[in-house]
Amino acid sequence: MTYPIQKSDAEWKALLASKGAERGAYEVTRHAATERPFTGKYETVWADGSYHCICCGNKLFDSATKFDAGCGWPSFSQAVPGSIREIRDTSHGMVRVETVCAQCGAHLGHVFPDGPTETRLRYCMNSASLDFQNQE
């Protein structure tokens, strides 16, 4: 799959380092690794604002859609329309739906059909994939 924003591995690593990204952000975003539950810096952030892709700045979620799913990762009931692509993921002996940034292809996490709102969706994202911006 191709994305509007393309960079080499070296460019992604340099970009993430310049942003002070969380340890492991490169492996999470570019190689679909997963941070351990309850370890990400945004899992317990409840401030007003928005969540953006750490790699390209694409706005992904509004804080009003964030909820505590108890899964150990920041969870959202709705993504910003057009901000995410969903890809069938059959790794780890199960069928899931991987979410990636629609602009740069960064791995974000997975979406599950058991959310608490009318959308019935639970987007479980890696904190290392996100950049939070306070609403001012």
User: What is the spatial distance between Cα 104 and Cα 46, in angstroms, rounded to a whole number?
Assistant: 26
Active site amino acids:
124
Strand partners, 127: none
Q: Which helix (H) or strand (E) holds 61?
A: strand 59-62
Burial state string for 18-39 with b = 16 or more CB within 10 A and e = fewer than 16 = eeebbebbbebbbebebbeeee
